[in-house]
Amino acid sequence: MLDTSDLAKFPFTKEASRYVQEKGIEIEELARDYSKIVDAAVKRVEEAIEEEIHSESADDMVEILSYPAAVMIVMQVNDPFLKRRYALAEAKRAHKLLLGELPRKSKEHLMDIAVGTFKWDIQSTREKLGDTEYDFSLYFTDYLRNAAGVSGDKWKLVNRLVLDGRVYLTTGDAARLLQEEIRRRIENRLEGRLEVELPAPIVQRIEPLKILLAQRKGEIAIEEAPIGFMVMAFPPCIKKLYDAVFSGQNVPHLGRFTLTSFLLNTGMSPEEVVKLFSQLADFDSEMTRYQVEHIAGTRGSRTKYTPPNCSTLRTHGFCISMDDLCKKVRHPMSYYRRKFRVLKTGKPPKKG
């Protein structure tokens, strides 16, 4: 069983939820009388934005209660990028804490969480194959559900030891799969509707988080752009589509095709384009990869597609905020090449 100090480490568990309910603290009280909890909640979100592992407070109650408070803050911001970022940060933290414990305690806590919160069909074992000693066996459906989110050939079922429908795992493997389950659980929680209105003192604490989030998203867009790739050279129509996808906004089918074909033709790899589209709420990894590779010409007809011309984009309402260069070109790629050259060399484009 998890004690209070364990709940502070793993506040997403069902036991932690019961602890919070038993405390019975109202949201108004939280803002008025429990400033330490609000401070810790804001810190959790800040650290998630910065991709840092949350540093624990010495007060177990503050740690436990700051988690649902942070969840409410993220739901209030309602940004898809932040939701994924926060869920991943909490899941990585749990993974680190699990593996940082003594081996016996690590295995006990892993079992408690896997069974008690996620209903895994998991058993302790001491099976050895070659130099590998396995600590757990997990029913294959639980394995497949979580291994799908982990990259690398070692996670393919064909590369695992499987006996009677059970996949054998080391503690490290089981903890990595549990990280995926935790991430998904928190993401699903964040997609729910915030049933309470946050008090003004908490809402005020959210505004600096929004600014930090916007700054970080801008930095990431620059950091992850391929070498030679220049967002500043995008025509206005493409920049609007790019910003919409990056911030998790819904984009119609033609807009997605236009952006995908444009990015592929400016040097982005299919994998990088898929990663960009992962910001969307309806993201389906396999389907997106198939569509992107089809547009890239590596699947299907093997034809690499180019974006629609300016006339088509204008007809469908994608042509916005035309600048002087827009009036001189008939295709988004022509705009990009000319603007790229200007920004790269500092020389104005040739006339005509």
The region of weakest confidence among 147-156, 227-236, 301-310 is 227-236
The range of the structural domain enclosing residue 285 comes to 228-345
pLDDT tens sequence across 113-146: 999 999 999 999 988 888 889 999 999 999 999 9
For residues 127 and 234, state if they share a domain. Answer: no
**Mean pLDDT over residues 20-39, rounded?**
85
CA distance 70 to 196: 14
For residues 186 and 232, state if they share a domain. Answer: no
214 inside domain: no
Q: How confident is the model at residue 303 (pLDDT cuts 50, 70, 90)?
A: confident
* CA 62 from centroid of its chain's CA atoms: 26
For residues 184 and 244, state if they share a domain. Answer: no
217 inside domain: no
Boundary (domain end) residue, out of 190, 212, 245: 190
Strand runs (DSSP E) across 34-161, as ranges? Answer: 122-129, 132-139
The region of weakest confidence among 226-240, 269-283, 314-328, 337-351 is 337-351
For residues 52 and 143, state if they share a domain. Answer: yes
209 inside domain: no
For residues 177 and 275, state if they share a domain. Answer: no
Q: What is the mean pLDDT of the chain?
A: 89
Q: Taking 70 as the threshold, does the pLDDT of residue 221 lie above it? A: no
Total domains, the chain: 2
**Mean pLDDT over residues 54-71, rounded?**
88
- Paired residues of 137 in beta bridges: 123, 168
Residue that wins the pLDDT comparison between 173 and 346: 173
Which of 186, 190, 157 has its CA nearest to residue 77? 190
CA distance 57 to 55: 7
For residues 255 and 339, state if they share a domain. Answer: yes
Classify each residue of 89-102 as buried b or exposed e, where b means 16 or more C-beta atoms within 10 Å of its C-beta. bbbbbbbebbeeee
18 inside domain: yes
What's the confidence (pLDDT) of residue 29?
82
Boundary (domain end) residue, out of 143, 166, 190: 190
Range with top average pLDDT, 92-96, 147-151, 298-302: 92-96
What's the confidence (pLDDT) of residue 350?
55
**Mean pLDDT over residues 290-316, rounded?**
90
What's the confidence (pLDDT) of residue 222?
56
pTM of structure: 0.69
92 inside domain: yes
Cα distances (Å, whole numbers) of residue 284 to 83, 179, 248, 277 = 17, 20, 14, 9
For residues 17 and 64, state if they share a domain. Answer: yes
Which of 151, 156, 145 has its CA nearest to residue 181? 145
For residues 180 and 236, state if they share a domain. Answer: no
For residues 67 and 153, state if they share a domain. Answer: yes
Boundary (domain end) residue, out of 126, 160, 190: 190
CATH of the domain at 141: 1.20.930
Q: Taking 70 as the threshold, does the pLDDT of residue 224 lie above it? A: no
For residues 22 and 136, state if they share a domain. Answer: yes
What's the confidence (pLDDT) of residue 9?
94
250 inside domain: yes
205 inside domain: no
For residues 243 and 332, state if they share a domain. Answer: yes
For residues 24 and 142, state if they share a domain. Answer: yes
Q: Taking 70 as the threshold, does the pLDDT of residue 223 lie above it? A: no
Q: Taking 70 as the threshold, does the pLDDT of residue 317 lie above it? A: yes
CA distance 345 to 116: 61
**Mean pLDDT over residues 345-350, rounded?**
62
Q: How confident is the model at residue 228 (pLDDT cuts 50, 70, 90)?
A: low
Q: How confident is the model at residue 348 (pLDDT cuts 50, 70, 90)?
A: low
211 inside domain: no
Q: Taking 50 as the threshold, does the pLDDT of residue 352 lie above it? A: no
Q: How confident is the model at residue 177 (pLDDT cuts 50, 70, 90)?
A: very high
Percentage of the residues of the chain whose pLDDT score is greater than 90: 61
